[in-house]
């Protein structure tokens, strides 16, 4: 949703690189570009003015005095101000001291309240609560039936004493739901209320009556992130007419600019508490202002990615896969393990979404958006067409076996060959990483403290300089010499004059950063 804003901000910050110090003219030009980016993203005008004023004041202050990298300092300021716009801190649900906790959902028709009710109920159920959905939207056609279906999918009960479609009193249904929760020991009641196509007196009065009858602990205003500036106007109207405690954004996975939704927290003074970013009931997350700001600035969201991985992956299976990769050359890690880990990654959601949360992927979002999920299906088909012995030891795959596998998977033999070759390369690289060794990847750009490919004649010249002398113990035959282990460099010899980490330090950092092996594999594929 925030691709346009992300692109404009990235281009703005890129123009600051290489500057030793920022002048007032540089700060003014940067602020102007940021203002244009925010306005193009449909952020509220008053919010933009306050944001730009705060950035310029801090940038021209003492914060940049003596800074070695002013561009990074400006990014830091913009990041902190974005977090402020989005609410500052993560706001969690307030639960009643004496159950049940009553949560009332309010908003316009089409905002996604009914689906959101199911997502919230499933999330609460996973937290160990016993939620009850209440069908208090008795006006929209089939709203009661939809909530019942959503409740069944979420595995929670629905209280629906009235058929709806214009029949029944929503206030009485909401009041009776509290008695039902007390009688059957539900600790959370989620009341789905009716909406309208626009603000009117009847909608406000009904919502106010339900609030009076149920005395909710939380009133959540549900708003579609794609409706533009009207999101702010609607939020203000509900704040004045009914009042609410927090905001829930839906359809964050849409392609609208979405900046208006980011303005709600600042304009209304109410925090954004949850965000829905997909059609599945599991596409529901607590809203973290700092993580969203990080995504907007193209710095990824590793914390959310790790949390999703922890919920998706089986710890025991991941430990076994890591142990197999740590074996000699990773030979114990077979295609069956690869398939298992790949399926676990897919459970986290579309690969484009998973990669989008990785730092530095903002510049590659076009390639990420072009990931073909069907290609993953073809890989699964090829592996599943193998026998258990072939999956455990792909080295036994001769020509006739590969032809049989290709026929069974409905692909060409070249597709099988390509998969097997890439698997061997990936396994070798992951085995080196698991063993604390940094693999030498052909074609990787040169980095301080690491070996790598260099362009053109300079690469050939430097490689000629680094050619080992024919000392005792080193064969003059290149083929034999490549098979020998290189001598260990002296401590710090791989570092640069600017304090870049050595190869051993980088290896240790990679080893300490305990990502699941399947994510490491996807990163290095």
Residue entry with tokens 């940021």: 34
Sheet containing 284-286: give its strands across. 157-159, 131-135, 188-192, 101-106, 218-224, 246-250, 272-276, 284-286
Average pLDDT, the chain: 75
pLDDT at res. 234:
82
The span from the CA of 95 to the CA of 211, in Å, is: 16
Q: Is residue 120's pLDDT more than 80?
A: yes
- pLDDT > 60? residue 482: no
pLDDT for the residue 236: 84
The closest alpha carbon to 10, from 360, 369, 353, 292, belongs to: 360
- pLDDT band at residue 490 under the 50/70/90 scheme: very low
C-alpha count within 13 angstroms, C-beta hemisphere, residue 425: 12
Would you list the domain boundaries of the chain? 3-85, 101-299, 314-434
Convert the pLDDT of each residue in 222-243 to its tens digit.
988 777 677 778 888 888 888 8
Instruction: Tell me if the domain spanning 101-299 has CATH number 3.40.50.300.
Output: yes
Q: Which CATH superfamily is domain 314-434 in?
A: Signal recognition particle, SRP54 subunit, M-domain (1.10.260.30)
Bigger pLDDT: 331 vs 113: 113
Q: Which fold has domain 3-85?
A: 1.20.120
Q: Is the pLDDT of residue 403 over 70?
A: yes
Q: pLDDT tens-digit profile of 254-263?
A: 655 667 667 8
Three-state DSSP at 284 gives: strand
* Binding site as annotated, residues for GTP: 107-114, 192-196
Whether 134 shows a pLDDT value over 90: the answer reads yes
DSSP letters spanning 451-501 = --B--HHHHHHHHHHTPPP--TTS-SSHHHHHHSPPPPPPTTTTS-TT-PP
**Within this chain, domains 3-85 and 101-299 share the same CATH topology:** no
Annotated binding-site residue numbers: 107-114, 192-196
The pLDDT value recorded for residue 176 is: 94
DSSP-derived secondary structure letter, 301: -
pTM for the model = 0.64
């Amino acid at each position: 949703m925030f691709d346009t804003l992300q692109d404009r901000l990235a281009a703005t910050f890129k123009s600051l690189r290489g500057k030793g110090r920022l002048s007032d003219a540089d700060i003014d030009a940067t602020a102007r570009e940021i203002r244009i980016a925010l306005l193009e993203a449909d952020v509220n005008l008053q919010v933009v003015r306050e944001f730009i004023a705060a950035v310029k004041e801090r940038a021209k202050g003492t914060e940049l005095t003596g800074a070695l990298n002013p561009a990074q300092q400006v990014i830091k300021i913009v990041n902190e101000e974005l977090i402020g716009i989005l609410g500052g801190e993560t706001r969690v649900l307030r639960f009643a001291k004496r159950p049940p906790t009553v949560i009332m959902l309010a908003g316009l028709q089409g905002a996604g309240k009914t689906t959101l009710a199911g997502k919230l109920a499933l999330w609460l159920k996973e937290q160990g609560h016993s939620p009850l959905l209440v069908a208090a939207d008795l006006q929209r056609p089939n709203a009661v039936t939809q909530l019942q279906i959503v409740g069944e999918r979420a595995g929670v009960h629905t209280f629906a004493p009235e058929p709806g479609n214009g029949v029944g009193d929503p206030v009485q249904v909401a009041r009776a739901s509290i008695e039902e929760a007390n009688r059957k020991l539900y600790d959370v009641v989620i009341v789905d209320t009716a909406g309208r196509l626009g603000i009117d007196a009847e909608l406000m009065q009904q919502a106010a009556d339900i609030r009076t009858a149920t005395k909710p602990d939380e009133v959540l205003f549900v708003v579609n992130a794609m409706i533009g500036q009207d999101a702010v106007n609607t939020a203000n109207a509900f704040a004045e007419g009914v009042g609410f405690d927090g905001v829930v954004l839906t359809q964050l996975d849409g392609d609208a600019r979405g900046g208006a939704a980011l303005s709600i927290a600042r304009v209304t003074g109410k925090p954004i508490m949850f965000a829905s970013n997909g059609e599945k009931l599991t596409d529901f997350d607590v809203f973290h202002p700092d993580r969203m700001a990080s995504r907007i600035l193209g710095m990824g969201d590793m914390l959310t990615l790790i949390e999703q991985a922890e919920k998706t992956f089986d710890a025991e299976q991941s430990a076994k896969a890591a142990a197999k990769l740590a074996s000699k050359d990773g030979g114990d890690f077979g295609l069956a393990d690869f398939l298992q880990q790949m399926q676990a990654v897919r459970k986290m959601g579309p690969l484009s979404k998973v990669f989008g949360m990785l730092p530095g992927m903002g510049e590659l979002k076009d390639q990420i958006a072009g990931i073909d999920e069907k290609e993953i299906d073809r890989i699964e088909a090829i592996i599943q067409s193998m026998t258990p012995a072939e999956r455990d030891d792909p080295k036994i795959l001769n020509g006739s076996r590969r032809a049989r596998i290709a026929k069974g998977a409905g692909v060409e033999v070249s597709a099988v060959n390509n998969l097997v070759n890439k698997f061997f390369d990936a396994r070798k690289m992951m085995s080196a990483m698991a063993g604390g060794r940094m693999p030498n990847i052909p074609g990787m750009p040169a980095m301080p403290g690491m070996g790598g490919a260099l362009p053109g004649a300079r690469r050939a010249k430097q490689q000629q300089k680094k050619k080992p002398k024919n000392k005792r113990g080193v064969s003059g035959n290149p083929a034999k010499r490549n098979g020998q282990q290189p001598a260990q460099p002296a401590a710090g010899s791989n570092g640069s004059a600017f304090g870049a980490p050595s190869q051993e330090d980088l290896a240790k950092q990679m080893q300490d950063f305990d990502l699941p092996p399947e994510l490491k594999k996807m990163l290095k594929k």
